[in-house]
Amino acid sequence: MADQRDRRSRRWRRRRPTPTPGPATTPRPDGASTAPVPLVAPPGTVPVGGPDGRDTIEPQVDAARFELQGRIGAGNHGVVFRALDRHLGRQVAIKRFSHFLADDPRAMRRITREVETLARVSHPNVVTVHDLVRMPDGDGEVTPHLVMELVEGTSLRDLLALRGPSPRSVLVVAGVLDGLAACHRAGILHLDIKPANVLVTDSGGIKIVDFGIARAASDATATVAGTPHYMAPEQYDGRADERSDVYSVGCLLFETLTGRAPFEGTMAAQLMAHRTQPRPDPRASAPWVGPRLAAVVQTAMAVEPEERYSGVAAMARALRSAVADVADPAAPEASAAVDAPSGRPAATPPVVLAPAAAVAAPLVRPLSRPADLGDRPGVPARDARPDGTREPVSSLAGPAVTRWTRLVSLLLGLGICAVVLTVVPMLAWASLELAPARVRPQTMDQMSADAWWMLSVGLALTLLLVRRRRFFQHLAGPEVGSPLPDGPLAPSVGRGVRMALRAAVVGTLPLLVPWYVLGLLAAMTAAGVVAPSDPFADALTTAWVLAPLVALVLGLRGILGMRPRLGALAFSFLLIVTAGGAVAFFLLAAPYVP
């Protein structure tokens, strides 16, 4: 890596125009001097693209315009500096992109397009992007630098570490949703929402920062990265849309209420947990969270994108309606103070705190400064021990899930699924009595109904065993210690029953072949094509009749299964080629079919 940078540095020095003599340092008003700033070509010089997609002649922007005053932070995608814009006399934040991004022309073209879009987003809860300039980095190489608004505040991660979780953090999450709504309207996904990327200003404002891996919502081929603690399951497959940000905000809301991430462990363990584990209930760790607010968290963190909120605006409406779920019912006006009409482009405004009140004070109060996030009124007091420590607070305010309740839910769910797996094949077999005999293969007439029923049930059970972990988790319901749901069945049993229904339908597809053949013959007759008198006369005729069905199934599977990964693309290409072969066979073998 060092040799590569040395070669780039020598190439940049060879092609650099002769600098105009000037002072080696830049004076500052306080008498101090800054580090020497490389001088560049005169204004008007046009950058020339090198073979690697990087500029090899200094660009138009004068590097001396910005004075780097100190490093603010660093991440996987670059380093952020505090800087002074000498032309406008203001403090800014400058992000220097890391070399693995700067060396990728495709990534930089994508970032340039998205920065142009993001610069048009004007929202109080989104950091303002001023410009994308090219400046020499520490190695003397011209690289892209993102000039942004300098936000003076504290990250939500630091506030959680210092003050602990608080139900009042729903105000922060509401502000994050408002800012994301503005970005989504502009077609930009953030894809890395986490406490470290949310700042609370000294005046109580909310700012979303670090759009390092953001991408256009219409860009389905971009490489998606993120933080495993907060990434939606589909991001690991290279797919993302607005609901991916909804999932990340759900994880953020869970952590701000409980003080911990939804899932812990290694990256592989988190990957499996986000995909397969039941959604954790925040009430198990935060007794002040009501059922409606817990439902907002779990809906936003649903595994399947279709089961989440349709967008951040819908989640914001649900969150604001659930704010009163953590407030004292005797003070509705206080909870209404934090409610705001959805869809408005303004930020969540900071409101002056009410005086410290008695027992009737609402649990969620307006936010006016970062220190207020750690204020948790209404939490039951902990009894002091003789040694000065305090007793832990009970994590639940009502009956909790036990192993027995999970077993009851599992057995009842298995009973319902057994009925579904039994009835669906029976209905499919009964429907065959209405089909003409000539469209039924002889095998169906030779085998008994019981044999075909067992075949269909066996196929359905095989499909369920492939996804047995998720299936049984849906039927068993929440983990032991979570709040006990109403009724003997867990709310997630419905998803397990739907899985059983889909498996039963797929298992009965062989019984529905006669109806497919009947439809194919009717379509051929309507089109004026001579249809075979016996669709199952021999192997050639049977293969010819089934070829369109094979082409349809494989073609849809190949198109819908495309992912921006080499293995997935190769498999989809193989399926599509096979589907094309089935179509070719159907067309070429038609003259030879009796």
Residue whose structure tokens are 């305010």? 397
Instruction: Burial-class residue 291 by CB neighbours within 10 Å (0-12, 13-18, 19+).
Output: middle
Positive/negative CA dihedral, 262, 263, 268, 272: negative
As given in the structure block, the two tokens for residue 389 are 């420590």
Helix, strand, or coil (residue 143): strand
- Under 8 Å between Cβ of 246 and 309: yes
The residue among 89, 91, 88 whose CA lies nearest residue 68 is 91
Helix, strand, or coil (residue 121): coil
The residue among 413, 387, 571 whose CA lies nearest residue 477 is 413
C-alpha 470/C-alpha 495 separation (Å) is: 10
As given in the structure block, the two tokens for residue 393 are 């607070």
The alpha carbon of 197 is separated from its chain's Cα centroid by a whole number of angstroms, namely 15
The residue among 228, 9, 254, 330 whose CA lies nearest residue 138 is 9
DSSP 178-208: HHHHHHHHTTEE-----GGGEEEETTS-EEE
Residue whose structure tokens are 């419905």? 494
The residue among 129, 121, 264, 248 whose CA lies nearest residue 197 is 248
CB atoms within 10 A of CB 165: 23
E strand or H helix that includes residue 569: helix 566-588
Q: Which amino acid is at 362?
A: P
- How many alpha carbons lie under 13 Å from residue 338 in its C-beta half-sphere? 33
CA dihedral 402, 472, 249, 325 (to 10 degrees): -40
C-alpha 332/C-alpha 351 separation (Å) is: 16
Helix, strand, or coil (residue 409): helix
Q: Which amino acid is at 118?
A: L
Give the residue numbers annotated as catalytic, written as ranges: 192
The alpha carbon of 23 is separated from its chain's Cα centroid by a whole number of angstroms, namely 50
Please name every residue paired with 68 in a beta bridge, in sequence order, or none if there are none: 83
CB atoms within 10 A of CB 436: 10
Instruction: Burial-class residue 266 by CB neighbours within 10 Å (0-12, 13-18, 19+).
Output: exposed
Round the CA-based radius of gyration of the chain to a whole number and report it. Answer: 31
C-alpha 168/C-alpha 170 separation (Å) is: 5
Residue 150: DSSP 8-state: P
